[in-house]
Amino acid sequence: MCGIVGFIGKNAVSNAMEKLRLLQYRGYDSVGVGFVEDGEIRIEKAVGKVDELSVKSESVRAVAHTRWATHGKVCTRNAHPHASGENWAIVHNGIIENYSELATGKTVSDTDSEVIAQLLEKYGNGLGSVIACAQKLEGAFAVLALEKSGKIYAIKQKSPLFVSEKNGEVVFASDPVCFCGFSDTYYSFCDKECAVADENGVEFYSFSGERIAKTPQTLAVEYRASEKGDFDTFMHKEIYDIPLAQSRIEQTYLPAFVSEVVSDIRHADEVWFIGCGTAYHACLFAVCVFEKAGVRCRAFIASEFRYSDVVPTKNTLCVFVSQSGETADTLGALEKVAGVCKTVALTNVGYSALASAVNVCLPTLAGEERAVASTKAYACQIFVFDILASVLNNAEPVMQKLDKNGLDYIFEEAKRVVKSFDKNELFVLGRKADYVTALECALKVKEVSYVNANAYPTGELKHGFIALIEEGTEVLIFATDPILYKKSLHGARECKSRGAKITVVTTEPEMFEGVGNVVKVSSYLCSVAFAFAFALECAKKRNFDPDMPRNLAKSVTVE
Ligand code: F6R
């Protein structure tokens, strides 16, 4: 993960730091900037978010980094940029797998990245040294190397890197979102490419030193950096973005638009849905709705799938779900099946590695998601699956749309429930698609409020975990499936008779009267929105920042 920025032009340090702020979703445990001043490289670093570092400089060259620690604890010494002499300062995103073999001497930091600075010092100056260094590195890496001369070099292998230039200014970044307000065009680096930049522009080379001509891409409108507006957090704002995103999906996902994928699903022996975390939950939801439509399907956690012994046939259809389209485990899972069967991606980032590596790419259309915890992207993923399943069924989509009034009500209810919730443990229960919501709710609660929330299928209670239910245990039950209302009620009663404090989120409130707190919702998607709102209110009550939870990053580009 980690975010890297390089800037050539006036006020390079403040401009680089400004852009780095947009990359904090990639990691935010420490920050650093390297720049050239009076012919010398200077490096400033701090532990914490970008705002922890305040540097004043007139420099016209800077490389900057926001870190998500992989090798070495969070401390200033391990923050980037790294140097190993006077000639180079490097920032790195990714993992150098062979760093211990490459080290040329004792390192100051505990990172895998410092070895890049060591190699560059060893090889000398200029493009030749950068290429020699790039050829030695193994693993995933996007590197920006600032040379004392003022040139900035870039190296890319498996970690994202982009560059844009305009009127003698150059910006390198891990995400094109940094080009908003700078230029409408940019270049994507492919694997095994490097570049050299100064005020005259950027030149691209292969790792074997051949010059490469590249075509610029246009910045997509949906990736213009979004702001919080009237909301205090991005997570809150993004939950309120769901209705608009749903309208975009409805207007785009017309029968003609989905005909190829629907035909692929119809003709596949089996459809496999593959993703991580919240995206995996969307895969579980897909299985619920596609099985109903008569499709044989399975959901896999990408990190498990890539090392599993399951083998697709050429008639299996693999659908990869990923908000970022950059998740290393999901890309690893794709590598396993690429060339064997047809692959589809459902992703929110049209320029991502996943989008370009599959046979068919479906857009999630959620718009930019900045909060680390995914909310609107998940809502859009399940909305898209619901539409696809309805086309397969020749029926109307089942899922209703959210609206602002409905969300206001859900937040009021979430606040009410959270007011009396003060435990560090929560059981979240549901069955079938409601179990998927329970999983998603538990994940969100853990992520943003650090409460140990765990989800179980309600029917599993008596097979073990009921042993944990005692006086005052907090239990949250999702029950929106009419066929299973009664079964959910049994589960609620079994917990209540052992002293648990029950909250039921249901479309059938009368049925649950008397078992505890009842939250009436008008649809399945409202119950999902309640799960998000509940997690957000828990974080707020505990004074945690839900947008940047500890130890997490939005884009998990390492295995
Ligand atoms: C949880 C969350 C993560 C991501 C997971 C996969 O709120 O956001 O669990 O869903 O890291 O990320 P993508 O969807 O980008 O592949």
In this structure, is residue 324 part of a structural domain? yes
Based on the fold, state whether residues 246 and 199 are members of the same structural domain.
no
In this structure, is residue 226 part of a structural domain? no
Residue 278 C-alpha to ligand 1 middle, in angstroms? Answer: 5
Query: CA-CA distance, 171 to 144, in Å (whole number)?
Result: 11
Give the chain's domain count.
Answer: 3
Residue 47 C-alpha to ligand 1 middle, in angstroms? Answer: 25
Whether 190 is catalytic: no
- CATH assignment of the domain containing 326: 3.40.50.10490
Host domain of residue 93: 3-218
pLDDT at 225: 61
Based on the fold, state whether residues 41 and 188 are members of the same structural domain.
yes
Q: Which helix (H) or strand (E) is 303 found in, with range?
A: helix 302-305
Based on the fold, state whether residues 384 and 442 are members of the same structural domain.
no
Q: Enumerate residues 6+ apart whose C-beta is below 8 A from 136.
A: 98, 102, 119
pLDDT at 222: 57
List pLDDT tens digits, range 428-443: 999 999 999 999 999 9
Stretches where the chain sits below pLDDT 50 are: none
Spot the catalytic one: 151, 336, 342, 554.
554
Query: CA-CA distance, 156 to 351, in Å (whole number)?
Result: 16
Residue 322 C-alpha to ligand 1 middle, in angstroms? Answer: 7
Based on the fold, state whether residues 361 and 484 are members of the same structural domain.
no
Question: Are the CB atoms for 66 and 50 separated by under 8 Å?
Answer: yes
In this structure, is residue 210 part of a structural domain? yes
Based on the fold, state whether residues 181 and 155 are members of the same structural domain.
yes
Encode 451-466 in three state secondary structure: CEEEEEEHHHHHHCHH
pLDDT at 288: 96
Spot the catalytic one: 2, 318, 495, 538.
2
In this structure, is residue 202 part of a structural domain? yes
In this structure, is residue 13 part of a structural domain? yes
Q: Which of 358, 392, 426 is the last residue of a domain?
A: 392
Query: CA-CA distance, 85 to 123, in Å (whole number)?
Result: 12
User: What residues flank ligand 1, with Cβ below 6 Å?
Assistant: 276-279, 322-324, 327, 330, 373-374, 443, 447, 556
In this structure, is residue 351 part of a structural domain? yes
Whether 194 is catalytic: no
Helix (H, G, I), strand (E, B) or coil at 184: coil
Average pLDDT, whole number, for the chain? 94
pLDDT at 398: 84
Query: Encoding tokens for residue 52?
Result: 């922890």
pTM assigned to the model: 0.91
Query: CA-CA distance, 84 to 88, in Å (whole number)?
Result: 7
Q: Which atom of ligand 1 approaches the CA of 373 most closely?
A: 7
pLDDT at 233: 96
